[in-house]
Amino acid sequence: MSSQQHHDWNTTASTQQQWIPDAAQTGPVTPENEEITDQPTELHSTPNNNRTSVRYSTQTDGDYHASGIWSANASTIAVPATAHSGQSTDHIAIKEPERPSITQDAKAEGDGAGTGTDTHIDIEKQEPKEGEHKDEDGKINGRSKGKVAIIMLALCLAVFLAALDVTIVTTALPTISEHFQSTAGYTWIGSAFLLANSASIPSWGKVSDIFGRKPMLLFANIVFMVGSLVAALSNSIGMLIAARAVQGVGGGGLIILVNIVIGDLFPLRIRGAFYGVIGGVWAVASSVGPIIGGAFTEAVTWRWCFYVNLPLDGLAFFILLIFLDIKTPKTPILEGFKAIDWLGSLLVVGGTLMLLFGLQYGGVTAPWDSAEVLCLIIIGAFTLFLFGMWEWKAAKYPIMPMRLFFKVSNLATLTLVFLHGFVFISGSYYLPLYFQAIRGATPILSGVYLLPTALALAVSSIGTGAFVAKVGKYIPPIYLSFFMMTLGYGLFIDFDAHSSWAKLIIYQIIAGLGIGPMFQAPLIALQAHISPRDIGTGTATLGFIRQLATSTSVVIGEVVYANQMEKKAGQLRAALGPQQAQFVTGGNAGASTQFIDQLGQPQKNIVREAFADSLMPMWIMYTCFAALGLIVMFFVRPKELTREHTETKTGIEAEKANAEAAAVEREEKRASKRMSKASLAESKRQSKLSLASGKASHSQLDVSRSRPVSSQYSAGVTEDGKEKISEEIPPVPQIPSNLERPTQ
């Protein structure tokens, strides 16, 4: 047994904490001053990302036993490199200590009993700290596979219902309009859901940061069910539109919070697999929505389009209530409400609604150049600009932190999300128009014809998630997505009134394979490059940008399509007559599919050719937007996806800490800019001094060449602190006049 040794580990920073290992009892060293019997022999500093772990090894008869690690991540401390009293001590600089964890037994290569031999012992295993999870056999991030399956079932069910309600009413709208005897307001049944969905998305992320993920997810379920119940019981078109708006708010919360919760449940590396499943569920729900809506309308009543949400979403609610084990902060209600960015929420909701209202009204309710439409669009866009400035400069707890946009990779990722949302929604909206107006399909049958896109989208979405989880790379799916999407939508340009079914199916499969990967790959790319504290707001920001893109895309596509139909007005008037031609030109073109079926075959062929020709420029526009992504995607930066996971802390205290951290980061950036400016000014000053010195040297050289004497220079300092270079030239000797020039 070696003699007892006592060593202090003293911090050199302001914390002045102390860890004193004392060799007296058996066991590894811990901060509680537990002691060991054997003499410490060596310390190794092992960097781990931004952390430094120091191993404290013990030895008995040449064998190395269990050892402790002191892992730190703040200011520095100094520790002794040897354990022998009287020997010199080399100091290893590491960071401020936290509680050390204990490794498994380790053995060193080579001998050396307390001789300071450089023997390396690798750190093999470290116990997870609070909030971190270490998987065991049969578990996923500390949860059994069965429990994960139950939680994912509830999350998928919630997303399925939220996505289903976007399209389930499309085939029921004519029946609903007839029931309420309203032809003017029925279009708002679908628009109210989308508008409320888009406007509410940014707020859900921040509210979940304050009150916790689980309470807000359950609350979103309740809002969605209340909206569904009121919609099913509606006795007027106005009541139904209001209920659809409530549904939209709840549906927006469901989709965004499910993505945020998955980010809290699973490590970044395997997170993509679960996002892939969610993307596949969304694709299937969006595709079968028209089919289910048509079946309910014909077999039972249109009200079942909303009743169906109650038992299914209720089941999801109770599963999440019982099995979702995410830490919930005890945030006081009043203090939590005070922390909400109310002005930011008002600006983003108001700006979004005005912008989308203007786009909805344009060309339908009022001309595009009318004061009503222009004011809505301009004021809405300006309000969103004010929202961005408020979030950047003044918001204490911003719902959309502008720092998300400051990294090139993040900006590229969000741009790709906008381009993807802008392009993919056109297939869901205008392919049914093609099938109904040009191929003569019923609304339900047009939904069936979209299944190739939906199935390919679901397969590629799930496959992408599995690929990211297996390989740990998200860049290849992004590249593949935009290549296939550009190719697929480029092939849509070839659709005409007589395209074969082989074309219609194969082209949709290609486009669907391109659409799918972009539902989870960019979310992983964004989360990999942001701080854990921004997961909630970052995910909500991505969802808001995608929703804004889809809303504007449908309107812009309709403008392009309607303008092309207006150009064919003369041809259609000649074939149909002025009275009938007005039903298929301009803004009425998209709503005239049933009118076309009433025409004679020659007239029907002319109208269908006009529809197909008018859709072609619109497909060209969407292909160009997809091709733009082929350039932007190269600015997305790769990053290693870790399997380690720490659950994001939520609550008012976490928000305060995040706000303080953000303030420190801003101040550091300002200080860095000031230092950069000062460094640049100093560099310019040094350049001027070097230039002046160079001129002086050049003058000296000229003098030495013209006169066979040496010049003397002295440097001084002027009153303003600048260096001064003076030249002292001795008198030039006179050349005798009688000196003759030497002869050659």
Cα–Cα distance for residue pair 652/210, rounded to 1 Å = 5
Q: In this predicted model, which residue has the larger pLDDT, 140 or 637?
A: 637
The least confident of 130-134, 584-588, 616-620 is 130-134
- Among candidate residues 100, 82, 107, the one with its CA nearest the CA of residue 28: 100
Q: In this predicted model, which residue has the larger pLDDT, 221 or 328?
A: 221
- What pLDDT was estimated at residue 384? 93
Cα–Cα distance for residue pair 608/335, rounded to 1 Å = 61
Residues 6+ apart with CB under 8 A from 359: 377, 551, 552, 555, 556
Task: Delimit the domains of the chain by residue range.
Answer: 9-102, 145-340, 341-396, 404-640
Cα–Cα distance for residue pair 405/414, rounded to 1 Å = 8
Average pLDDT estimate for 303-319: 94
DSSP 8-state code for residue 518: G
SS3 632: helix
Question: For all residues of the chain together, what is the average pLDDT?
Answer: 75
Average pLDDT estimate for 599-605: 78
Kindly state the helix (H) or strand (E) to which residue 526 belongs, with its residue range: helix 521-528
pLDDT tens-digit series, residues 90-113: 333 334 444 444 333 333 333 333
pLDDT tens-digit series, residues 420-431: 999 998 888 888
Q: Which residue has the tokens 């093999």?
A: 124
- What pLDDT was estimated at residue 649? 75
Residue 114 in this model has a pLDDT that exceeds 70: no
Q: How many CB atoms lie within 10 A of CB 440?
A: 14
Dihedral, 324, 330, 333, 336 alpha carbons, nearest 10: -90
Residue 542 in this model has a pLDDT that exceeds 80: yes
Q: In this predicted model, which residue has the larger pLDDT, 306 or 111?
A: 306
Q: Cα 588 vs. chain centroid, distance in angstroms?
A: 38
CB 331 within 8 A of CB 173: no
State the alpha helices, DSSP H only, in 212-267. 213-232, 237-265
Residue 369 in this model has a pLDDT that exceeds 50: yes
Q: In this predicted model, which residue has the larger pLDDT, 271 or 124?
A: 271
Tokens of 160: 């399925």
CB 559 within 8 A of CB 614: no
Measured CA to CA in angstroms, residue 21 lies from 52, 68, 331 at distances of: 19, 11, 40
Residues 6+ apart with CB under 8 A from 120: 44, 108, 109
Cα–Cα distance for residue pair 528/407, rounded to 1 Å = 12
CB 489 within 8 A of CB 619: yes
Going by pLDDT thresholds of 50, 70 and 90, the confidence category of residue 695 is: low
Q: In this predicted model, which residue has the larger pLDDT, 59 or 667?
A: 667
Per DSSP, which regions of 81-129 are E strands? 91-97, 101-102
CB 595 within 8 A of CB 581: no
DSSP 8-state code for residue 718: -
Going by pLDDT thresholds of 50, 70 and 90, the confidence category of residue 299 is: confident
Kindly state the helix (H) or strand (E) to which residue 77 belongs, with its residue range: strand 68-80
Residue 721 in this model has a pLDDT that exceeds 60: no
Q: Cα 710 vs. chain centroid, distance in angstroms?
A: 70
Cα–Cα distance for residue pair 499/449, rounded to 1 Å = 14
Query: Do strands 68-80 and 63-64 pair parallel, antiparallel, or not at all (unpaired)?
Result: unpaired
Measured CA to CA in angstroms, residue 479 lies from 42, 465, 514, 634, 724 at distances of: 49, 15, 9, 8, 60
The least confident of 367-381, 633-647, 681-695 is 681-695
Going by pLDDT thresholds of 50, 70 and 90, the confidence category of residue 135 is: low
- What pLDDT was estimated at residue 161? 94
Cα–Cα distance for residue pair 464/480, rounded to 1 Å = 10
Instruction: Work out the burial of residue 446: count CB atoms within 10 Å of its CB; fewer than 13 is exposed, 13-18 middle, 19 or more buried.
Output: buried
- Among candidate residues 426, 516, 421, the one with its CA nearest the CA of residue 477: 516
- What pLDDT was estimated at residue 385? 94
Beta bridge partners of 22: 6
User: What is the model's pTM?
Assistant: 0.70
- What pLDDT was estimated at residue 30? 41
Two domains, one topology: 145-340 and 404-640: yes
Cα–Cα distance for residue pair 347/551, rounded to 1 Å = 18
Tokens of 95: 């960071």
- What pLDDT was estimated at residue 464? 92
- What pLDDT was estimated at residue 607? 82
Give domain 404-640's CATH superfamily: MFS general substrate transporter like domains (1.20.1250.20)
Percent of the chain clearing pLDDT 70 (strictly above): 71
Q: How many CB atoms lie within 10 A of CB 563?
A: 15
Q: How many CB atoms lie within 10 A of CB 534?
A: 23
Cα–Cα distance for residue pair 277/281, rounded to 1 Å = 6
- What pLDDT was estimated at residue 589? 57
- What pLDDT was estimated at residue 591? 54
- What pLDDT was estimated at residue 67? 40
First to last CA, the chain: 99
Average pLDDT estimate for 684-693: 76
Cα–Cα distance for residue pair 257/268, rounded to 1 Å = 17
Q: Cα 191 vs. chain centroid, distance in angstroms?
A: 26
The least confident of 218-227, 332-341, 351-360, 646-655 is 646-655
Print burial letters for 344-355: b (CB count within 10 Å at least 16), e (below 16): bbebbbbbbbbb
Tokens of 202: 């940014």
Average pLDDT estimate for 251-276: 91
pLDDT tens-digit series, residues 439-490: 888 878 888 888 999 899 999 999 999 999 899 899 999 999 999 999 999 9
Query: Do strands 9-11 and 68-80 pair parallel, antiparallel, or not at all (unpaired)?
Result: antiparallel
Architecture of domain 145-340: Up-down Bundle (1.20)
- What pLDDT was estimated at residue 105? 37
Which range, 111-120, 153-162, 694-703, has the best average confidence (pLDDT)? 153-162
Average pLDDT estimate for 38-56: 41
- What pLDDT was estimated at residue 397? 85
- Among candidate residues 492, 497, 498, the one with its CA nearest the CA of residue 609: 497
- Among candidate residues 546, 551, 522, 527, the one with its CA nearest the CA of residue 537: 527
Residue 496 in this model has a pLDDT that exceeds 80: yes
Q: In this predicted model, which residue has the larger pLDDT, 25 or 552?
A: 552
Say which amino acid occupies 58: T
Q: Cα 566 vs. chain centroid, distance in angstroms?
A: 40
Average pLDDT estimate for 498-527: 92
Q: Rg (Cα) of the chain, in Å, rounded?
A: 35
- Among candidate residues 331, 336, 350, the one with its CA nearest the CA of residue 390: 350
Residue 412 in this model has a pLDDT that exceeds 90: yes
The least confident of 65-69, 351-355, 607-611, 691-695 is 65-69
- What pLDDT was estimated at residue 17? 40
Going by pLDDT thresholds of 50, 70 and 90, the confidence category of residue 513 is: very high
State the alpha helices, DSSP H only, in 330-442. 333-339, 342-361, 371-393, 408-437
Cα–Cα distance for residue pair 209/219, rounded to 1 Å = 14
Dihedral, 701, 703, 704, 707 alpha carbons, nearest 10: 160
Dihedral, 692, 695, 701, 703 alpha carbons, nearest 10: -100
Going by pLDDT thresholds of 50, 70 and 90, the confidence category of residue 160 is: very high
